[in-house]
Amino acid sequence: MPQIRFDLDRDHIELNQLLKLTGVCDSGGAGKHLVASGEVRVDGVVELRKTCKIRSGQRVETGDATIDVIAR
């Protein structure tokens, strides 16, 4: 399972953009589709809001990827 560390340089990032910037999805639109499919969990809970605000300290999981969001 790929472990990805994302250094957050602001207060938050939208979930679909996080998936795009980490390479989990090719585009923000693909990220929205992935979230809508119910395949994304934030801190262990399925998240269906495409633009959910992800903050430092949160963990996003989808498929075989885990993204740890860390404050820069």
Tell me: the pLDDT tens digits for 33-55?
999 999 999 999 999 999 999 99
What pLDDT, on a 0 to 100 scale, did the predictor assign at position 1? 63
> Which residues are CB-contacts of 43 (< 8 A; sequence separation ≥ 6)?
58, 59
At residue 59, φ and ψ (nearest 5 deg) are -120, 130
Domains of the chain: 3-71 (3.10.290.10)
* pLDDT level of residue 60 (50, 70, 90 thresholds): very high
* pLDDT level of residue 28 (50, 70, 90 thresholds): confident
Q: Is the pLDDT of residue 23 over 90?
A: yes
The pTM (predicted TM-score) of the whole model is: 0.93
Pairing of strands 45-46, 3-8: unpaired
Q: Record the tokens describing residue 12, joined without a space.
A: 């938050």
